[in-house]
Structure 1
Amino acid sequence: MKIALLKSRNVRREITIFDYKPEYHDFLYCPVPECGCKLVYVNSSSTHPYFRSHRNEKHSSNCPYLFENYNQQALTNICCVEGCTQIADYQVYLYDYYAPPLNKEFMEQDFTCPYLCEAHMYENEENAIGEKKPRGRVKYLYSNKKQAQGFTKYIPINKKSIFIDSAINQPNDQVNLEIINVNSQLIQYLARFPELLREIDPRKFEEIVAEIFHKKGFSVSLTPRTRDGGKDIYALQNGIFGRQLFVIECKRYSSTNKVGVELVRGIYGVKMAERATAAMLVTTSYFSKDAIDFASPLEYELSLKDFGDLKSWLKEYK
C-alpha cells in the first residue's frame, strides 16, 4: 500500500509513503472508510517503502486491501537489471521445444537473468530480435545472454494471496488465487475487487475470460499454454445464422502499461489468416490512441475490450 490514514487526536488525513515521519508510527490506519485496520511503515534495503497491515490485525471483509498479504519469499528477489532496485515481478525462463520424434518441452530458469521487474520485462520483450520458434534463437536486451537456442518466457512471481470471506460462503482460510478453480465464486469475488485481475497469472486470466464467454453461450477452447501464436482463446457460437468463430487474445497488464497498436495489428492478422468471423483483444489495462485509431474502421471485425469492459462482464456474470 502506498497510502495510509494518519489518525490521532488532532489529525485525520491521508498521507503517502513520502509523507511518513517516525512520529506517525502509532497512528497509521487503512485509508478505506470503516475498515480501521492498523498499518505499519516498512522501509528496508531490499524493497521500496510501503505500508502493510499490522501483524496482529486484518482488513475488514469489504476492504479491497483484504488481499494485501505479501509472500516474503517473493520480496527477497530484486530485478537483475544493473542499477534497478525494483522487486522482481517475473521469474525468467528459457523455453524450447524439441520437434518429433522427441516431442519434448524444455523450460529452465535463465541463470544469466533469473528475475525481472515488470517494466524491464516489457523492455526485454520489445527489444527482442528473432523469431520465437522451436530451435530458433532470439537476441534479448537482458535475458539469454548465452544465446542458447529457444526463447524467453516469464513466470509471474506470486506476491499476494487473498482471503475470501464468509460473505461468499468460503471459510476464512488463506487462498492463493493461482490455485483456485475458475468458477462462479471466484468471478463473484473478482467482481467485488476487479483490481485483482492485474495480480493473477496470465494463464489464469485467460481462463477467466474463457469462462465468461462460455457463460454467454460460446463453445470455448484455450490454445496450449506454451503456444505463442497470437491468440489465446477460440470462441465458437452456433446461431440461427450459422457458425461464428472469434479469436481472442488476452493481455494481463498493469494499469499504466497500455496495449499498443502492434498487438492489435497482430490479432487482426490472426483473424484474417484463420478466416475467423472477428477478433478481440481483452486487457486489464487500456489501449493507446494508435491502437484505437487502427481498430475504429474495423468495428465489425475487431473489438478492443479494456478494464472497464472487464468490470462490466464480471458484474453481469450469473
Structure 2
Amino acid sequence: MAIKSISEKEFSSYPMQKNPMANVLGEEVAWFEEKENNLIATIIKDKIDNDWAYVILVKYPNNEYRAEEVEASLETQEIAEKNAKRKINELIKAGEFREELYNDETITEDLQKNSLIITDINVEIKKYFKKYPEKLYELSSRKFEELVASILEDMGLNVELTKATRDGGTDIIAVMKNALTSMLIFVECKKYSPDFKVDVGIIREVTGVHALKQPEKSIIVTTSTFTKDAMKEAELARGKLELNDYENLREWLSNY
C-alpha cells in the first residue's frame, strides 16, 4: 500500500476523461499513484485564485478512471499533497467497508450483534445510513448514485441509472407516473465531503442539460451543501431545478 510519485506522462497513460476546461483554469504540477488499489491523484495550481487543489481518481469496471474526491482552496502545494495522500489512505480503508456493505452475504456490525440475517440488502443499507449518515462519505460516487436511485424508487418513481461513462449532467433518469400523466426527471448526484460545496458551475451544467433535453424537472442531490451563488443560480430555473443537500438526505433516510 505505497503511494508513489509519478511523472505527468505516466499519469496521462491511465485511461480517463478530462474536463476540456481543466487546463485553462488550473495547471497540474504533481502526480501520484497507488497501484494496489487502482488510485491516482494530481495536484493542481489554480490559475485564477492562485491556491491549490487535488483530484483523486479511481478505476471503474470499464477500466476508466473517474474523479472520486476533490478538495480545493488549499493554501500551499505541500498541504494539497499531504491532504491527497491522507484521503487516498482513507479511501483504501473505506474500500473494505464498501465491499462488505454491498455483499448480499454480509451482516453489518449492528445486525450481527442482534443475530439478524439480512434478507433485503437495500432496506438494510438504508436503515444503516439512517443510523450512521456520516458513513455516506465513505461510499464511492457510483454507490451513492445507486443509493439515491433506490430511495427514489421507494418514493414511487421508475428509475434508471445512466452509464458510468456519461459526460455529466444526469446520473439517474426517473419517471413519475399517475393515472393522468407522467413526469420525466433528471437527477445529478454529487458525493462531496462536507467542506466541499456544490458550486455554481455544477448548477449551470445541470441547467444546460435541462435546457437541451427538456425534462419536466432536474434534481441535484449531494452529501454536502450548496454555495450561495449556486442557490441564486438555481432560483433562475424558476422551479425547474430542485436542490437536495445532506440534511435532505437525512430526512429521506428517516423513513426507513
TM-score by length of 2: 0.63
Name the stretch that deviates more: 277-286 or 236-245.
236-245
Pair 251,244 (structure 1): closer, same or farther in 2 beyond 3 Å:
same
The Cα offsets for residues 249-290 of structure 1, whole Å up to 9 and x where unpaired, read as 101110000010000111111111111011111100010111
Task: Report which of the two structures shows the higher radius of gyration computed on alpha carbons.
Answer: 1
Question: How many residues align structurally?
Answer: 193
Q: Cα–Cα, structure 1 residues 208 and 246, in superposed 2: closer, same or farther, change >3 Å? A: same
- Choose between structure 1 and 2 for higher RCO, CA contacts under 8 A separated by at least 6 residues: 2
- Alignment match, 1:21: none
> Counterpart of 2:164 in 1: which secondary structure?
coil
Equivalent of residue 109 in structure 2, options 148, 164, 168:
164
On the 8 A contact 2:207/2:237 being kept in 1, the answer is: no
Quote how far apart the aligned CAs of 1:152 are: 5.2
Name the structure 2 match of 1:114. 33
Offset at 1:241? 4.0
Q: Which one of 232, 243, 249 corresponds to residue 304 of structure 1?
A: 243
Whether contact under 8 Å (2:145, 2:189) holds in the other structure is yes
Alignment counterpart, residue 163 of structure 2, candidates 217, 224, 233 = 224
**What code does the residue aligned with 1:188 have?**
K
Partner of 1:108: none
Once the two structures are superposed, what CA deviation does each residue of 1:48-83 show, in whole Å capped at 9, x if it has no partner? Answer: xxxxxxxxxxxxxxxxxxxxxxxxxxxx4447499x
- Conserved? CA contact 1:220–1:234, under 8 Å: yes
Deviations 1:159-179 (A, max 9, x none): 23374323785669xxxxxxx
1:86-135 deviation line (CA, Å, top 9, x unaligned): xxxxx9983269xxxxxxxxxxxxxx6325xxxx96965988xxxxxxxx
User: Cα–Cα, structure 1 residues 248 and 227, in superposed 2: closer, same or farther, change >3 Å?
Assistant: same
Over residues 218-255 of structure 1, what are the superposed CA-to-partner deviations in whole Å (9 max), with x where a residue is unaligned?
00000012222321000101124411011011011100
Identity %: 31
* Residue 8 of structure 2 is aligned to residue 95 of structure 1: no
Distance 2:124 2:46 in 1: 37
CA distance in 2: counterparts of 1:81 and 1:113, whole angstroms: 5
Which residue of 2 is the match for residue 36 of structure 1?
Answer: none
Conserved in 2, the CA contact under 8 Å of 1:92 and 1:114? no
**Residue 280 (structure 1) aligns with:** 219
Alignment counterpart, residue 153 of structure 1, candidates 59, 66, 71: 66
Q: Cα distance 1:77–1:260, how it changes in 2: closer, same or farther (>3 A)?
A: farther
Structure 1 match to 2:195 = 256
**Residue number in structure 1 paired with 2:77:** none
Specify the code of the residue in structure 1 equivalent to 2:174. Answer: A
Alignment check: 8 A CA contact 1:92 1:154 kept: no
1:18-57 aligned within 5 A: none
Measure, in 2, the Cα distance between the counterparts of 1:187 and 1:93: 38
Aligned residue in 1 for 2:172: 233
SS in 2 for 1:217: coil
TM-score of the aligned structures, taking structure 1 as reference length: 0.51
Mark the CA change 1:244 to 1:124 in structure 2 (over 3 Å): closer, same or farther: farther
Secondary structure of the residue that 1:185 maps to in structure 2? Answer: helix
Question: What CA distance in whole angstroms lies between the structure 1 residues aligned with 2:12 and 2:148?
Answer: 25
Question: Could you tell me whether the CA contact under 8 Å between 1:255 and 1:286 is conserved in 2?
Answer: yes
What SS does the aligned partner of 1:256 have? coil
Distance in 2 separating the partners of 1:185 and 1:258: 29
Q: Residues 234 and 247 of structure 1 are in contact (CA less than 8 Å); yes or no, is this contact kept in structure 2?
A: yes
What amino acid sits opposite 2:66 in the alignment?
Answer: K
| Code of the aligned partner of 1:94 | Y
Q: Which runs of 5+ in 1 are unaligned?
A: 1-75, 83-90, 98-111, 128-140, 144-150, 173-180
